[in-house]
Structures are given as structure tokens and as C-alpha cells.
Amino acid sequence: MPAEFFCYYEDTDTAWRLRLAGHSVISVGPARVRHRHGASTHPGSPLFHRWNERNRLLMLLRCAPSAVALRELARFAVITALLPVRRGVPDAANFRVGLRLRVLGEVLLRLPAVLFQRARIGRRAKVSRAEVWRNWAGR
């Protein structure tokens, strides 16, 4: 589990890396997990959206096919740039330009380490990122 994520998307990142390493991730019928969504933060809070958006982008940069990761990073940046000129923007934390700029800044600051991690994950992979993406995301 990537400890630097703290919460949000650390489980998805782990599942990506397991699949890239050639493992299957399955559910076991009788196993039960109780998960309190947003227990570390309150869903809808600025902190929730900051960590959620940041870690989603970091997870994609670490694990997803390059085109997917770059598309999502660019999409996030373009939406952020257009928010000040859009009408009818919801009054929610994840639509606040300041929060989104902070997310982009945090991702950019971590980019050298994330690219190093991406290369290491890729060297260990037994299955291509594209194959995992097709099988998992259906694309």
C-alpha cells in the first residue's frame, strides 16, 4: 500500500500493481469487510476532495497506460482552467479553483518520484498496463 497516499486510492493502486505483476484480485464469498467511507475526512469536505483528486491522479500516473494517465491529468488541468469562466458551477469543494490548483501543485511536486515509481512498477510488471486497463476498465 502506498503510504504516501495516506487515504483514498491506495487500495486501487495496490490492485493495479497486483494485476500488473500477474496476480488475480478476487473476492471471497464469505469474507466481509466493514468500510466507513470518509471516516478519515468528511465526504464533501475540502480535505476529502483534495486527497481524493490528488491520489487518483498519482495512482494513474504510477500504474495506468501513459495515454490514460496523461489524458486524465490534462483533463483535470483544463477543467480547472475553465472553471472561472463557466456558469452554473456547483458550489462544491472539488469545483473550487484554489483546491484544484493545490492538487495540481502537489501532483507536480511529486512527479519526479512518481515517474521513478512508475518505471520501477513497469520493470516488475509481467502484464502490460494496456492489458490490465482493457481487462479491468473494459477499454
Residue 1's pLDDT is what? Answer: 74
Per the document, the length of the chain is 139
- Residue 118 has φ and ψ, to the nearest 5°, of -60, -45
What residues contact residue 62 under an 8 Å CB cut-off, 6+ apart?
Answer: 2, 13, 16, 114, 117, 118, 121
The model's pTM = 0.89
**Residue type at 92 in one-letter notation:** A
Interior/surface letters 2-12, b for 16+ CB within 10 angstroms, e for the rest: beebeebbbeb
3-class secondary-structure state, position 90? coil
121 closest CA partner among 61, 37, 55, 69: 61
Residue 3's pLDDT is what? Answer: 66
Residue 53's pLDDT is what? Answer: 94
DSSP letter for 95, please. G
Q: pLDDT tens digits for the chain (139 residues)? A: 776 777 788 888 899 999 999 998 888 888 887 777 766 777 778 888 998 999 999 999 999 999 999 999 999 999 999 999 999 988 888 899 999 999 999 999 999 999 999 999 999 999 999 999 998 887 6
Residue 91's pLDDT is what? Answer: 87
